[in-house]
Amino acid sequence: MTASAENHAGAGGESRLAHYPITFFATVMGMGGLTLALHAGEKAFWPAAAGEPHTHHLYSHVAFYFSAALLAVVALGYLLKVLFHFKMAAWEWHHPVRLAFFPTISISLILMSIITLNQYPPLAEPLWIVGTTLQGLLSLLVISDWIGHRDFKPGHLNAAWFIPPVGNILVPIAGAQLGYTDISWLFFSGGLLFWVVLLALVMNRLTFHDPLPGRLQPTLVILIAPPAIGFIAWMKINGELDNFAMFLINAAYVFALIVATQLPKILKLPFALSFWALSFPLAALTIATFLYAGQTGSMVHTYLGGGLLGLLVVIIALLLGRTAVAIARHEICQPE
């Protein structure tokens, strides 16, 4: 989306740029997840190419370039919002739901570091350092706001609040390989700790309070992400398929089955950017499945990973198409 298009007046003469949502970064997470899932699938089905980064990895390379371009465009759009409509950006920061989406910025950078570690290693460390530093800062600020903010109500709590812990759990995937072991453990421990705390709170909210508003129901899919990412990160830190790793990947499958029971209701809802919450958790589960298959030699999990990858490609394609239509119809970047 160009700056000129964003600056066109929306409903009531308001600038559309003023309503450029932080949730746009979820599209970058989805595409970054797809890139890594494609890379994992290429390694699984063309194992001879595993030691040859530029062989048989065409699809993941194309996805990487698209993800990098998307990150640049989305980041530019939000930077323009901060520069020209700072009060609206500050309003988002103080919004009880949108606050949790700010770490999608740092998560996007960390994902790029993981991708470049496979494809362009010299870029990985700088991206990881910047992304991890920002992730730590945003996590502390978000959690501090949660603790100190007295206007939050049970109805504000939703699965999107898992996003900051997911970012922390994501840090060791590249960090451990880059040699930052202590920092990786710090972020991994903090991420898992708040995953457990928030899991209890979110399940309480879902069970004993009013149903999630329609726009937030797709965020239920985020339940899959913490254990799936946790499994991948644990394998990078620990390097061994032990009992804790088995717990994490099977917890991800359990949450995937629970979420599957809610999908028929979710898919009937009108499109919103929150539908991009379907993409990254599914990508994480796909990658975790391929990783497990590689560790155990399980063909069942190899083909399960292939099926999940196929589903992910279809979902991403539909999300990209529907988002483009929504942008063309000016359904996005409007007051809510």
Tens of pLDDT, residue by residue over 214-227, are: 888 999 999 999 99
Query: Does the pLDDT of residue 7 top 70, yes or no?
Result: no
Q: Name the more confident of 310 and 144.
A: 310
Q: What are the tokens at 300?
A: 């069942």
Over range 135-147, report the average pLDDT.
92
- pLDDT value of residue 10: 43
**DSSP-H helix ranges across 209-274:** 225-238, 243-266
Q: Name the more confident of 11 and 264.
A: 264
Q: Which segment of 13-22, 26-35, 126-135, 290-299 scores lowest on mean pLDDT? A: 13-22
Cα distance between the two ends of the chain: 20
Q: How many Cβ atoms are within 10 Å of 3's Cβ, its own excluded?
A: 15
Q: Which residue has the tokens 């589960």?
A: 285
pLDDT-above-70 percentage for the chain: 92
d(CA 314, CA 275): 14
Over range 83-105, report the average pLDDT.
93
Query: Does the pLDDT of residue 50 top 50, yes or no?
Result: no
CB 233 within 8 A of CB 268: no
Q: What are the tokens at 67?
A: 């993800």
Q: How many Cβ atoms are within 10 Å of 160's Cβ, its own excluded?
A: 23
Q: What are the tokens at 192?
A: 């898992």
Over range 66-76, report the average pLDDT.
97
Task: Give the list of residues 6+ apart from residue 255 with CB closer than 8 angstroms, or none.
Answer: 223, 224, 227
Contacts 24+ apart (CB under 8 A), 75-82: 75/105, 75/108, 76/3, 77/1, 77/3, 77/6, 77/17, 77/20, 77/24, 78/20, 78/22, 78/24, 78/25, 78/105, 80/3, 80/6, 80/17, 80/20, 81/17, 81/18, 81/20
Q: Name the more confident of 128 and 2.
A: 128
* pTM, to two decimals: 0.91
- pLDDT value of residue 149: 65
Q: Which segment of 51-65, 244-258, 286-300 scores lowest on mean pLDDT? A: 51-65
- pLDDT value of residue 97: 87
Q: What is the pLDDT of residues 158-216, one digit of tens each?
A: 899 999 999 999 999 999 999 999 999 999 999 999 999 999 999 998 888 888 888 88
Q: What are the tokens at 142?
A: 């978000």
Q: Which range has highest mean pLDDT (143-147, 294-298, 326-330)?
A: 294-298
Over range 254-278, report the average pLDDT.
92
